[in-house]
Amino acid sequence: MTTSPPQVNGHKRPTSEPRFDPVALAEADAVRTRAAAEAEALRTKAEGEADAARTLAAEEAEKLRIANERARLTQERKQVDHDAYVAKKEAETANANAEKEKAEKAEADREAAEAKREAEQQRSERWWKWGARAIYAIGMIIAGPVQFMHFWDPQRPFLVAAPALLEGFALVLAFGAAWAVANRRDVAPYRIGIMVGAVIAAVVNLHGGLSDERIGLNAGLIGAIASLGGPLVLMAYEHGMAQKADGIPSWRERRAVARAQSEAVAALKKEQQAQRDAEHAAETDRQITEARAKEEQKRRDADRKTGHPEVWEVAEAIRSARGSQYVTEQIWTEAWGRVTGSKTVGITPEIEAQSRGAEARMQAATKTPIFGSFSLIESQKGPRAKREPGAPDGRRNNGGTPPVRRAGDSPPNSPLARRQARLEQPTITAKNASTEDQK
């Protein structure tokens, strides 16, 4: 076994074990930890700022995309609205043009029909006029010679003018009737004169045919018919012209007007009957509704009178004082408030007290802190073995010196956990105290 001298060259020999300062080591470790924390904080901050910039850029891009999409949709909607407006205007213009063309065509068709009808009327009137005159002339041609043969007397030659007098009498009166029609005068006297002259001429012709063998019955009969037929046909023509000039409707027109009037009267009666039926149905519905309302009011009054007699007496007094027919909802609400003090119908003081008690119990059950195995604090705390007095500190390999803790090193507890811990603190303290006492 060898030993080393305590001194070498007059100086104390240094020990082989290196010396170190724990405080300096702890400070160095703290500086390194702080530097690492600061570097980590700067890195986290840079990453956060980069993430925020990316998020902001993405949000701006999304906002720009949404704005562009909205602008595109708005432009498309405006274009669609414009196209619809143009299509609507074109359709309206086409419909207007079609209606105009239809109206013009209808007017043209009506004018053509009217012109055709007027042309037909003129044609028929012309044929009717000249036909009547032709019949009158033919009658004069037939009746004139018969009368000349009847009145011929060599001793009295002046009687040869008698046929002209008889036939001319009716002809002149026919001209007078035409003048009366044109000047809107009374035509009856002229027609009477025409018939008198025609009858006289017919009687003369018939008498000549019976008395004169030269004439014969056939010639006399046909002459009588000719004397009557010509003036009758001409008078019928003048009668039609007179009615047309006076605006007198024909029998066909009167029949059409009568039919239209009868249809209008029937439609009016039908409408009135339908209106009476509707009024009767409405009255029946009203009566049924009133009957149901009365029955419901009776049921409600009986129920209230049986179930709440005190309130019913007050409500009946209010109803009588106000002159109301029934106990209305307003009266019943006021009476309920007067008797029970509650503004809500159906709520009594007992029901209100019971409700408030239940509400208080519910609040106590929901706001009281939870203890035991369901507690937030107890659920996070497990059994922990106690460290022996001589056991080494295993927190760090730094000689037992704990690291320096600064504010902000650990995340703060949530407000709910702090509130629960504050509520459970007295119970935990009492529990720890009882445990110490037992030991």
Domain range for 263:
258-297
Query: Based on the domain organization, do 145 and 228 belong to the same domain?
Result: yes
Strand partners, 8: 11
- 97-112 burial: b if 16+ Cβ within 10 Å, else e: eeeeeeeeeeeeeeee
Look at residue 114 and tell me if it is in a domain.
no
Query: Based on the domain organization, do 193 and 147 belong to the same domain?
Result: yes
Q: CA 277, CA 271: separation in Å to the nearest integer? A: 10
Residue 374: the pLDDT is 53
Q: CA 224, CA 205: separation in Å to the nearest integer? A: 5
Query: Based on the domain organization, do 146 and 200 belong to the same domain?
Result: yes
Query: Based on the domain organization, do 318 and 277 belong to the same domain?
Result: no
How many other C-beta atoms can be found within 10 angstroms of the C-beta atom of residue 423?
Answer: 16
Domain count, the chain: 3
Look at residue 265 and tell me if it is in a domain.
yes
Residue 289: the pLDDT is 92
Query: Based on the domain organization, do 140 and 190 belong to the same domain?
Result: yes
Residue 2: the pLDDT is 46
Residue 427: the pLDDT is 65
Query: Based on the domain organization, do 206 and 317 belong to the same domain?
Result: no
Residue 1: the pLDDT is 44
Per-residue pLDDT of the chain in tens (439 residues, 90 and over written 9)? 445 455 545 555 555 444 556 667 677 777 777 788 778 778 877 877 787 788 888 888 888 888 888 888 888 888 888 888 888 888 888 888 888 888 888 888 888 888 888 888 778 777 877 877 777 777 777 777 777 777 776 777 777 777 777 777 777 877 787 787 777 777 778 778 877 877 887 888 777 777 777 777 777 787 778 777 777 787 777 777 777 766 666 667 778 888 888 888 888 888 999 999 999 999 999 999 999 988 998 898 888 888 888 989 888 888 888 888 888 889 889 888 888 888 888 888 888 888 888 888 888 777 665 555 555 555 455 555 566 666 665 555 555 556 666 776 676 766 766 777 777 676 666 666 666 665 5
Query: Based on the domain organization, do 140 and 232 belong to the same domain?
Result: yes
Q: CA 191, CA 233: separation in Å to the nearest integer? A: 12
Query: Based on the domain organization, do 292 and 320 belong to the same domain?
Result: no
Query: Based on the domain organization, do 132 and 198 belong to the same domain?
Result: yes
Residue 292: the pLDDT is 92
Question: Are residues 239 and 187 in contact, defined by beta-carbon separation less than 8 angstroms?
Answer: yes
Q: For tokens 């119990």, name the residue.
A: 361
Query: Based on the domain organization, do 139 and 230 belong to the same domain?
Result: yes
Query: Based on the domain organization, do 202 and 288 belong to the same domain?
Result: no
Residue 204: the pLDDT is 80
